[in-house]
Each structure stands twice: as structure tokens, then as C-alpha cells.
Structure 1
Amino acid sequence: MTPSSRLAAILDLLTEVESAPRPADAVTSAFFRARRHIDDQDRGAMLETLYAILRHRARLGWWLSRQGRAETARGRLLAWLALGERKGPDQVARLFPTPLSAADSALVTALHGSALDHAEMPEPVRLECPDWALEPLRRRFGADFAAEMAATLVAPPLDLRVNPVKTSRDQALRGLSRLGLRAEPMALSPLGIRLPDRISLALLPGLKSGEIEIQDEGSQLVAHLVEAKPGERVVDFCAGAGGKTLALAAQMQNRGHLVACDVNEARLKRCAERLRKAGLHNVETRVLASETDKWVKRHKGGYDRVLIDAPCSGTGTWRRNPDARWRAPDLGLSALMALQARILASAARLVRPGGRLVYATCSVLVEENEAQVAAFLAAHPGFALLPLGEAFPPLQALGDHLSLTPKAHGTDGFFAAILTRQA
């Protein structure tokens, strides 16, 4: 693609992302499926520009408002070219796929030579923090609020999890090295591999064969804390598309019974497809009508391990899904927390005496994490908190809960608490 045609495609993609109710990754996947003529190099360059604009959305919007412009996809792209890529008015005019209007030319001329940050920007704008999450995040991080928010604006590396049913981490590392890729074993996840450089996923044949999966190190650690063993009965209560289900099934070495539950049938179908590709066949998928589905009551006390990857605000995923920060939880934070409490209380019924319950979120908010666990333990004296160090000694320094952030740990933001049912 020429630079101009690439910008035209970026503008089309950005327009779709901003107008669709779906997450950006779902929109981009559909966009490129419909345009298979776009090669990997152009696709990578387009995605890099798109996600840069999404990561700087508040600041770009502030500059547009300062210049009296509406916050449109065209305006954001013009502002990014001037502020983010530091292109002059003549360069923008030559590259842009359609002629610039007088207002467009005035905008890029006014922005030329300015930096993205400005001394007059309010702190939430400079840190790209939405109003709905501002106070909860300030309570969570205190003096570290600005540094933690800045870490969410850095693009994450590519994290992989090895499927031990098909290969080992050493074998996978050797295979990546033969492909000329720089890869390193993760410090905490025993099955994790990190690729620090941007690459095309087409360069990873292991993704098609099921030998490796894309999974953030924090998510891998959450699954690891379940410690599902071969021959056990295990439930992944909010399985979704199955990222952690795959990890649990591999832990069980295809022996035992794993039930992947969710209220969304389409997500569970995607989960089943991924399980087949990975060579994992000890999993049953089950659609639930709600968190209190009759199936839960019928199987009370019937499982050794239960994982609850609860629906949450997603504040821990912002560096990976920058568009998510501008979508407040559909239910509102208070209603979402009430749902989490109901899910936790209901799924806990499945745990046998002496069994393990892991409650997890991809949130960094205390209200969704530590506060939920404390309230559950107060209402359910038959459960006790198991400190991380007892379950997984390498995490002993983290204290009683797994609480990860991009700044402190180089992962997405994840929380997990291990609860055991008294025998």
C-alpha cells in the first residue's frame, strides 16, 4: 500500500472502531477478514497507528477542543499526524487520502510544533483517565497514581503460554530462536515466553498447531494458582472464550473432568474450538442461564477446584485494550460489584470440603478485589484465605493476594485470591 492508501484504510478502521459498540480488537479482526488483500506489514503498521490514537484519545480530544474542532475520527487522525508523528502541514497535505479543507489545514498548522502534553491539561486528560474510574484509581494507588496510569499507556509485549500437552517451554524457545525471533522465558510463569519485539502473528506456526497460546503472564499466573491436578473435577465458572480453560485443561494433562461455564453460548463455542486445536479433550462446556443456574445447586460440593474469573471493570487491561477505558461498565460499577458478589457466593457452593476456590479479576480496583474477598469471608466462615506463598512460593513476596500492575510487574493488571473450604 502507498502511504496515502494506508492512511485511507486507517481512517476507515478508526471510524468503524469509534462507531461500533464492540471492543476495538473485535472490530479490527472483522475489518481485516473482509480485506484479506492487506498484507502483514501494512496490517501491522495500521494497527500500530490505530492503537496509538486510541492510547492518546483524551489528549488528542483536548487539542481538538482547544482548536474548536469536533472529536471525529478524521480530526483525531489529523491531530495524531501533527502531534504524535510530528508531521508538518505540507507533509500531512501530501499524505492525507482526501484533500484537506480550509479547517483541516488550519488545524494541522496550529498544532505543528506542539507536543502531545500541555501544561494546561488537567491531570486526568494527561493521564488518559476516564471520569468514572478516577476516584477509585486514586484510592487504589495513592501517590503512585500518575506512574501507574502512565504505565497503562505503554504498548505491552507479546506474551505466550506453552501448551505442555504438545511441547515444552525449552522446545518452544528453540523453535522461536530458529525462526530468528528474540524470545525469553518469563520470570514468574513456568510456562510463559515473552517476545519483546513487535512481530506478525503469522510468523508463529505454534499458534495454528496449538503448541502455544497468546496469554498475558498475569493471566497465566491466575490459572496456575488453581493448581488443577490430573484426575480432579474442576470448574471454570466464567470461562468466556477459554483462555484460562486451556491452561487448566493442560495442567490436568487431559485427565479428569473440567467444566467450562458461561452465560454466553457464542463465547463457549469459541472455547470449544480452541480446545480441539490444542488437543485437549477433558472439557465439557456448559451454558448457564445465570450465576444461580439450577446446575450449580445440583452439583453442590462436587468439585475439587473452582475458578471464578469474574466480569469486572477491566481496568487492568487498559494497556492492551486502550479503547476499554472509555467504556464505563454497562451495569455501572456498583451493580457490577453486586453481580461479582452473587457469582462468588453461588460458585462457592460447587467446592467440596477441603477444595480450593480462586476468585480473580482483570481489575486493579480494591472494590472489585480485596473488598469482595473480605465481604465473602465474613459471610462464609467455612472458607479461609490461603496466602500466595503457601500455594506458589515464588509469589510469597506479594503477600496474601495476587495483585499485579503494569508498572510494578510488567503484566496486565490482575487480582486473585485463593480460598479453601474447610474440611
Structure 2
Amino acid sequence: MTPGARLQAAIELLASIHAGTAPADRAAHEFFRARRYIGGGDRREVLGLIYAVLRARARLDWWIARAWPAEAPRSEETDRLRLVAALLLIEGWNADRVAGSFDGGQYRPALLSREERALLKALAGQTLDHPEQPDWVRFEYPEWLDAPLRAALGDRFESEMRALMEEAATDIRVNALKADRTAAIRALKAEKVEARPTSLSPWGLRVEGRPPLASLEVFKSGAIEVQDEGSQLVALLTDARPGQRVVDFCAGAGGKTLALAAQMQNKGHIVACDVLEGRILRASTRLRRAGVHNVERRALSTERDPWVKRHAAAFDRVLVDAPCSGSGTWRRNPDQKWRLAPGDLEELLALQESILKSAARLVKQGGRLVYATCALLPAENEGQIRRFLETHDKFHVVPVADVWRTAIGGEGPAEGEFLRLSPARQGTDGFFVAVLEREK
């Protein structure tokens, strides 16, 4: 592809991401699957451009609003203008190079308008950051979340927000049913991929760069799975043991289900539930590749599906990886933060509460309920646990430090009774984990 054609593809992909509801990575997968003529090198160039825009959206919009010479641009122009601004402020292009790439040729962006040329002139020689930008622009988050994020992060606010703006590392989980870390490192090295053990998860490896992991033989064999170290720790702290009955209540695509199966050595019974039937059914490919055969997949109509009542008090472990704001994963999904509105958060809090109450019915006497989110906001985390315990006196908190010593070994980074992970402190996605036990 010509440089101009890559720019046009980036504009179209950005528009596709913002017009839909799927995360950027999934939208990009569908975009390129429909355009198989775009080669690997060009895909990487296009993805680099669109993620540069997504990670700097607030600052780019701030500059566009400041420099645009007319009334506010039309919404359908926004992604094109963001890319123009990114080429100047992030990629280091000069105005002539940008104008030359927007030449209206075949498969290339249309000619710049008079207003766009004025924008080029205004942004030439500027830097992405500016001292007049407010914090919510400087640190790339919705303005309405300013107070909740400051309350959640306290004196770590700036360091955590900076970390959330960075690109996330690529972590993989070694499938203990098929390999150990030493064997996996050796297999990856044979395919020219460098990896080193993660510091917290005994299953984890962190790989260098962005290798095409899905094309590697070590991946195809089921010896490894892509999974953030924090997500691995959630599964480990469930402390699922061989022979137990376990529910992964919000299983999604099955990442934690696979980890639980490995922890249980394929012994016992896991029920992977989700209200999104398509996702839970598609997990079959991953289960087969991983050599997992103790998992039953079950689609639920809602979190209060009759199946829950029929299986009350029947499980040793119930993991609730609850739907949440996803604020802990903004490094991976920078587009998702801008989809969230205040009303959405209120709906999420109500849904989390309902899911937690319903899933608790499945826990047998002496069993455990593990609640986790990839969110930073206390209302989604400690607040939910506090409200749950007010109405469920048969449950009590098991300090995560105690569970860590039993399930993982050694001393973990738990704070008080719960585990809170963050990009700035642990280098993982942001996670919260609480372990509750039902009285015998």
C-alpha cells in the first residue's frame, strides 16, 4: 500500500471503531478480515496510526478545537481531523508531507479543505502536550470521571493515570496441562520470541515486542494462552482444587476458565456460564487446543436464570469476574473509556450487585465466592462487597494475603483484606479481587 492508502485505511478503521460497540481490537480484526489484500506490514502501520490516535484522543481534540478556523467540524469529519493532527503532533510529519498524502488519488484521502489546511498551519511546530490542557485532557479520561478517579487513586493519581496511557505489555499464561515455564520459554525462543517470567504469577511470561503469537506452533499446540498477569492472578486466587465443583459465572470467552482447569489438573467439574451465548460457545476451540475436558459450557438467560436456583449450594468455588467500567484495562482498550457515560456506570453498579447476589446462591457451606473486576473505582469494588455483606451475614471476607500464601505461596501485594493491582505499581492491568467464604 502507498502511504496515502494506509492513511485512508486508518481513517476508515477509526470511523468503524467509533460507529460500533466492539472494542478497538475486535473491530480491527473484523476490518482486516474483510480486507485480506492488506498485508502484514501495512496492517501494523495502520494499527500503529489508529492506536496513536486512540491513546491521544483528548489531546488531539483539544488542539483541533483550539485551532479549527470555523464552527465546530461535522462529526463525520472528526476521525480524519484526528489523524491529520496525529501526523503532525505525534508522528512528526511536516505540513507539506501531510498535504501531499491527502491528494485525492485512488485509495488515498480526499484533498484537504481550506479549513483543514488552516488547521495544518496552526498545528505545525506544536507538541501534543500543552501547559493549558486540563488534567482530564492531559491524562486522557472523560471529564466527568475526574472526581471518582481522584478519590480512588489518591496521591497516586498522576502516576497511575500516566501508566494507563501507556501501551500494555504482552503477557502469556503457560498451560500447566501441557508445559511448564522453562519448556515454554525454550519453545518460544526456538520461534524467535524472547520471554521472561512474570514477577507475581507462577504461570506467567512476558514477551518482548508484539510477536504474532497466534501463528506460533507453541500457541497452536495449546502450551500457551494470551492472558494478562493480573487476570492470571484472579484465577489463582480462586484456589480451585482438583476434584472440586467450580463455576466461572461470567466466563466470557473462557480465559479464566482455562486457567481454572489447569489449576484443577483437569479433575473435577467446571461450569462456564455467560449470558452471551455466542461467546461461551466459541470457547470450544480454546478448550480443545488447551486439552481441557472438565468444562461444561452453559448459556444463561440472565444472571437470575432458573439454573442458578436449581444448583443452589452445590459448588466449592464460584468466580464472579463481573462486567465493569473496564477502567483498569484502558491501556489495552483506550477507546472504551470514551464510550462510558454516567448513566452507564449506575447501570453497571446495579448489574454487579444483582450478579453477586445471584451467584452467591451457588456457593456451598464452607465454599468460596470470589468477586473480581478490572476496574479502579471503589463503587465497583469495595462498595459492592460492603453492600453484599450487609445483607448476607453467612459470608465473611477471607483476607487475600491468606489465600495468596495458600494458593500461590509467599507474600503477595495485597492491601488490607483485598487485592488491588495497577499498571503503575505491578505492571498489570488494574484489578480488584475479594474472597468471601460461606459459613459451614
TM over 0.5: yes
Residue in structure 1 matched with residue 381 of structure 2 by the alignment: 369
Specify the SS of the correspondent of 2:64: helix
Q: TM-score, normalised by structure 2?
A: 0.93
Residue in structure 2 matched with residue 81 of structure 1 by the alignment: 87
Instruction: Within 5 Å, give how 1:4-19 maps onto structure 2.
Output: 4-19=4-19
For the pair 1:380 / 2:384, whether they are aligned, the reply is: no
- Cα distance in 2 for partners of 1:395, 1:309 equals 23
Q: CA deviation digits over 1:110-165, x for unaligned, max 9? A: 10111111111111111111034222111101222122111111001111011111
Instruction: Within 5 Å, give how 1:15-30 maps onto structure 2.
Output: 15-30=15-30
Residue in structure 1 matched with residue 217 of structure 2 by the alignment: 205
- Cα distance in 1 for partners of 2:277, 2:236 equals 26
Cα distance, 1:296 vs structure 2: 1.0
Residue in structure 1 matched with residue 67 of structure 2 by the alignment: 67
Residue in structure 1 matched with residue 105 of structure 2 by the alignment: none
Specify the SS of the correspondent of 1:398: coil
Cα distance, 1:206 vs structure 2: 2.5
- Cα distance in 1 for partners of 2:141, 2:273 equals 33
For the pair 1:40 / 2:40, whether they are aligned, the reply is: yes
Q: Pick the aligned partner of 1:183 from 195, 198, 218.
A: 195
- Cα distance in 1 for partners of 2:161, 2:413 equals 23
Judge conservation of contact 2:144–2:342 (CA < 8 Å) in 1.
no
Specify the SS of the correspondent of 2:317: strand
Residue in structure 2 matched with residue 420 of structure 1 by the alignment: 437
- Cα distance in 1 for partners of 2:272, 2:341 equals 24
C-alpha RMSD over aligned residues: 1.6
| Shift in alpha-carbon separation, 1:192–1:49, aligned structure 2, 3 A | same
Q: CA deviation digits over 1:90-116, x for unaligned, max 9? A: 111223333323222221121011111
- Cα distance in 2 for partners of 1:414, 1:362 equals 4
> How many pairs does the alignment contain?
423
Cα distance, 1:255 vs structure 2: 1.5
Q: CA deviation digits over 1:268-318, x for unaligned, max 9? A: 112222212221111111111111111111111100111000111111110
Judge conservation of contact 2:420–2:430 (CA < 8 Å) in 1.
yes
Q: Pick the aligned partner of 2:136 from 117, 124, 132.
A: 124
Residue in structure 2 matched with residue 404 of structure 1 by the alignment: 421
Judge conservation of contact 2:177–2:262 (CA < 8 Å) in 1.
yes
| More displaced stretch, 234-243 vs 19-28 | 19-28
- Cα distance in 1 for partners of 2:156, 2:244 equals 42
Q: Percent identity among equivalent residues?
A: 52
Instruction: Within 5 Å, give how 1:251-266 maps onto structure 2.
Output: 251-266=263-278
Q: CA deviation digits over 1:157-212, x for unaligned, max 9? A: 11101111122111110111222222100111111000132323355333322221
Cα distance, 1:331 vs structure 2: 5.6
Judge conservation of contact 1:329–1:336 (CA < 8 Å) in 2.
no
- Cα distance in 2 for partners of 1:118, 1:348 equals 49
Q: CA deviation digits over 1:71-104, x for unaligned, max 9? A: 6111000000011112111111223333323222
Residue in structure 1 matched with residue 261 of structure 2 by the alignment: 249
Judge conservation of contact 1:296–1:350 (CA < 8 Å) in 2.
yes
> Structure 2 regions of 5+ residues with no counterpart?
103-107
- Cα distance in 2 for partners of 1:419, 1:61 equals 44
| Shift in alpha-carbon separation, 1:63–1:336, aligned structure 2, 3 A | same
Cα distance, 1:329 vs structure 2: 5.6
For the pair 1:278 / 2:290, whether they are aligned, the reply is: yes
Specify the SS of the correspondent of 2:361: helix
**Amino acid across the alignment from 2:95:** P
For the pair 1:166 / 2:182, whether they are aligned, the reply is: no
- Cα distance in 2 for partners of 1:202, 1:280 equals 19
Q: TM-score, normalised by structure 1?
A: 0.96
Q: Pick the aligned partner of 2:352 from 323, 326, 340.
A: 340
Cα distance, 1:38 vs structure 2: 2.0
For the pair 1:312 / 2:324, whether they are aligned, the reply is: yes
Specify the SS of the correspondent of 1:418: strand
- Cα distance in 2 for partners of 1:244, 1:329 equals 28
Residue in structure 2 matched with residue 301 of structure 1 by the alignment: 313
- Cα distance in 2 for partners of 1:392, 1:77 equals 46
Cα distance, 1:335 vs structure 2: 2.4
| More displaced stretch, 65-74 vs 247-256 | 65-74
- Cα distance in 2 for partners of 1:352, 1:165 equals 27
- Cα distance in 1 for partners of 2:158, 2:173 equals 31
